[in-house]
């Protein structure tokens, strides 16, 4: 069996027959990408199960009875509350670090997989890149010019499912690393480390901002986390701020 996202979803939902389930289980044992998908979907369903039960507003029953007397309700109207709950649950699942890691790894592979990087700004001077993002309404913490032998080459604003992030590109030959500055919140105590879509991913907080680092090589990703934390700590000392 080759990668089949629909079958993996059916497997997570226990909707497959015995033969299909056995085939997917055998594939998952060999495919890290599909295992990551299965784990992300399990986390999303776990988030769904934690949602509180919806309570109707005061007077809803009386209004409904009057509506039933006037006209037969359409199926679409009856499904709207269910759809609203599912949408809220979906976006709640995107706040899980495992789901965010999957999204960042997907964008890393997509950008570096193109014939030319889809950068909006080019250059190896971190200060210049930071000023460009600030001019476009995105505030960045101090970022490194490079780490582990890889150098900054550019960046762009990257739309994810529920937010837009700053995506910075680093490269040295065939080695590539993406550094993401992610607005908003994620259910993260300090740091999160995983492998998603065959990429090493680390998500951590520095100076009150959420940062994600993605790369093919775990050593490169580790070097960027150390460099990023060091750069931010050095800037805080220069500004007279206490280190976090």
Q: Which of residues 102 and 221 earns the better pLDDT score?
A: 221
**Among 33, 41, 34, which residue's Cα sits nearest to residue 198?**
33
Distances (CA, A) of 112 to 105, 118, 128: 11, 9, 22
Cβ burial 215-232 (10 Å sphere, 16+ → b, else e): bbeeebbbbbbebbbebb
Distances (CA, A) of 25 to 16, 85, 127, 194: 11, 31, 48, 21
Q: Is the per-residue pLDDT at 244 higher than 90?
A: no
C-beta of residue 143 within 8 angstroms of C-beta of residue 179? yes
Please give the mean pLDDT across all residues of the chain.
Answer: 81
pLDDT at 43: 83
- Its pTM stands at 0.60
SS3 state of residue 137:
coil
């Amino acid at each position: 069996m080759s990668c089949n996202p629909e079958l993996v979803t059916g497997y997570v939902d226990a909707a497959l027959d015995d033969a299909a389930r056995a085939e997917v289980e055998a594939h998952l044992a060999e495919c890290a990408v599909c295992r990551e998908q299965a784990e992300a979907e399990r986390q999303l369903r776990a988030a769904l199960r934690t949602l509180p039960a919806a309570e109707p507003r005061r007077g809803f029953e009386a209004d409904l009875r009057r509506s039933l007397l006037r006209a037969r309700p359409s199926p679409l109207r009856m499904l709207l509350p269910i759809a609203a709950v599912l949408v809220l649950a979906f976006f709640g699942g995107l706040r899980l670090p495992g789901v965010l890691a999957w999204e960042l790894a997907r964008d890393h592979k997509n950008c570096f997989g193109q014939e030319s990087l889809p950068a909006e700004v080019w250059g190896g001077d971190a200060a210049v890149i930071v000023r460009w993002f600030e001019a476009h309404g995105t505030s960045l913490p101090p970022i490194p010019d490079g780490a582990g032998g890889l150098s900054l080459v550019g960046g762009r604003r990257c739309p994810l499912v529920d937010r837009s992030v700053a995506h910075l590109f680093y490269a040295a030959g065939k080695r590539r690393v993406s550094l993401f500055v992610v607005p908003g919140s994620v259910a993260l105590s300090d740091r999160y480390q995983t492998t998603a879509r065959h990429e090493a991913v680390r998500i951590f907080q520095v100076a009150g901002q959420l940062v994600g680092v993605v790369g093919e090589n775990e050593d490169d990703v580790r070097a960027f986390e150390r460099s990023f934390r060091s750069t931010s700590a050095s800037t805080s000392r220069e500004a007279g701020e206490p280190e976090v």
